[in-house]
Amino acid sequence: MCASSSEKDLYGVLGASPSESTEELRRRYQHLVLKCHPDRLSGHETEVGLKRFLEVDAAWKILSDKNKRRDYDLQRRGTIFLKQNERLYTHCCRCGGASSSQEEAETVGGQSRGVIVCCDTCSLSVYVTWTNPPQS
């Protein structure tokens, strides 16, 4: 799943940067949760606070988990994910489109040396090569 340009930046939701430690993110999360918790607000502020509270909580659930945070960071950078021993390659393009391909590019001695991964939205194509081809 690729992040769309309209998707919130989870670090921005917490007012943080990607270089901050989990403990620094925790402090920001705790501060924001106390500030916008619906039980601490009244009237119209309660509805607005609840939306903000849920947004902050959702960001924290991803950024507090080591594996989810790594996956989120890779997705933000547009990293290409390779499934080991499979010929499926996916990439979240900077335009917000998804890219995937099973199209092998160059073969040398009957062995595939790479694959072309094309965005389904823009014209970006990435040529992925490997030194040890995946086993069929």
Q: Tens of pLDDT along 20-58?
A: 999 999 999 999 999 988 888 888 888 888 899 999 999
Q: Which two tokens stand for residue 57?
A: 């909580």
Which comes out higher in pLDDT, residue 30 or 2?
A: 30
Band (pLDDT 50/70/90 cuts) for residue 119 is confident
Q: What angle do CA 21, 27, 33 make, to 5 degrees?
A: 130
Band (pLDDT 50/70/90 cuts) for residue 60 is very high
Band (pLDDT 50/70/90 cuts) for residue 15 is very high
1 has pLDDT over 70: no
What is the model's pLDDT at position 47?
Answer: 83
What is the model's pLDDT at position 63?
Answer: 96
Domains and CATH numbers, the chain: 10-77 (1.10.287.110), 85-135 (no CATH)
9 has pLDDT over 80: yes
* pTM of this structure: 0.57
Which comes out higher in pLDDT, residue 133 or 24?
A: 24
Which residue is listed with tokens 């489109």? 97
**Best mean pLDDT range from 20-29, 31-40, 62-71, 107-116:** 20-29
